[in-house]
Amino acid sequence: MSLVLRRAAAVCVLLIGASLAIWAVAGPGQQWTGSMTSARILLGLGGMGLVGLSAALMFPQRRKKDRDDDRGPLATSSTAAGPLDDLFD
C-alpha cells in the first residue's frame, strides 16, 4: 500500500472515528437509558478504536522482513511498511 494512500485512509478513519466518538458523547445519545447506555459507551469506544487505527495507519511499524536486511544500523528504509501491506502485495 503506498504511503500517500495509507495516509489518506488514516485521515478518513480519524475523521470518522472522532466524529463518532463526539456524537456518542455529546449528541442525542445523552437521553438514551437502560441497555442503550451500554450501546452509547460501545459507540464511544469504537470511535476511540478508530482513532487508534488511524494512528497505526499514519505511523506504521516496520515489518520483520524490513528489519532483517543486511544494511548498516544507520541506514533508513525507503519504504514505510504498514498493517495492510501484506493484503495488497
Q: With respect to residue 24, please indicate whether it lies within any of the assigned structural domains.
A: yes
Contact 58, 10 (CB under 8 A): yes
The answer for residues whose C-beta is within 8 angstroms of residue 24's C-beta and 6 or more apart is 40, 41, 43, 44, 47
Q: With respect to residue 88, please indicate whether it lies within any of the assigned structural domains.
A: no
Number of structural domains (the chain) is 1
- What is the Cβ-side half-sphere exposure of residue 4, based on CA atoms within 13 angstroms? 0
- The 10 Å Cβ neighbour count of residue 58 is 17
Q: With respect to residue 82, please indicate whether it lies within any of the assigned structural domains.
A: no
pLDDT in the model for residue 71: 53
Q: With respect to residue 84, please indicate whether it lies within any of the assigned structural domains.
A: no
- pLDDT digits over 35-61, tens only? 888 888 899 999 999 999 999 888 877
The domain in which residue 39 lies consists of 3-69
pLDDT in the model for residue 82: 64
Give yes or no for residue 80 having a pLDDT over 90. Answer: no
Q: With respect to residue 83, please indicate whether it lies within any of the assigned structural domains.
A: no
Q: With respect to residue 81, please indicate whether it lies within any of the assigned structural domains.
A: no
pTM for this entry? 0.63
Q: With respect to residue 60, please indicate whether it lies within any of the assigned structural domains.
A: yes
Q: What percentage of the chain has pLDDT greater than the value 70?
A: 69
